Chains A and B, each alone.
Chain A
Amino acid sequence: DADVTQTPRNRITKTGKRIMLECSQTKGHDRMYWYRQDPGLGLRLIYYSFDVKDINKGEISDGYSVSRQAQAKFSLSLESAIPNQTALYFCATSDSKDLWTGELFFGEGSRLTVL
């Protein structure tokens, strides 16, 4: 089983629908992140969390919200999806003890299409 699991892996939805992408990890890491990837734009940080009570906005948080239900779970929600939120979404984790090595462990990605 993957250490960082994202569900769903693929989702097609319509404009205005509420969507939740879920991420769970078995690595025991305290830090979790949501990134969005668009062609030619690399990975852009949406939200990040250092622990259950510490959630921070990233570069592009507008239109998104998150919930850290437990140390191992971090969910991303689109309250009212719009077509320009069509993208590949990655969840990632890291251990604060390895801060300077910067290794992020990524899930396999969730491809979201908003029609």
Chain B
Amino acid sequence: QKEVEQNSGPLSVPEGAIASLNCTYSDRGSQSFFWYRQYSGKSPELIMFIYSNGDKEDGRFTAQLNKASQYVSLLIRDSQPSDSATYLCAVTTSSASKIIFGSGTRLSIRP
């Protein structure tokens, strides 16, 4: 079992709709959870982090964490074409020594 799992997509969402991206992780001791966005040919950049159960909102983005289910998600409201990218879920290990990434979900926003 991979430590961090994501559906690779592609996920196609119409412009203006809500995009929902999901991630599961295997290390129950993981403390912090992150969503990175990576445009084609570019480096990943951090868009959200969360470490408490529940929701965390930042503009059009909402991260959701459920540690009991070992599940973290990212919602993007009012999706824009500029949101088309690969979204990488990442988790700090229980020892907090390293950050492990999932394989990424490719999101495409269609006009």
Contacts and interface: CB of A to CB of B under 8 A. Distances in A.
Interface of A: 33, 35, 40-45, 48, 50, 56, 58-59, 90, 94, 99-104, 106-109
A43 B88 contact: yes
B100 A104 contact: no
B99 A109 contact: no
Contact of B43 (A44, A102, A107): A107
Contacts of A109: 43
A35 B44 CA distance: 11
Given A106-B43, A108-B43, A101 B32 contact: yes
Interface residues of B, number: 26
Given A40-B8, A42-B103, A90-B43, A102 B49 contact: yes
B98 A48 contact: yes
15 contacts: A33-B99, A42-B6, A44-B101, A45-B98, A45-B100, A45-B101, A48-B97, A48-B98, A90-B43, A100-B92, A100-B96, A102-B34, A104-B36, A104-B46, A108-B42
Nearest to B105: A42
B40 to A, nearest CB: 11
Interface string B17-56: 0000000000000011010100000111110010100000
B90 interface: yes
B104 A100 contact: no
B44 A106 contact: yes
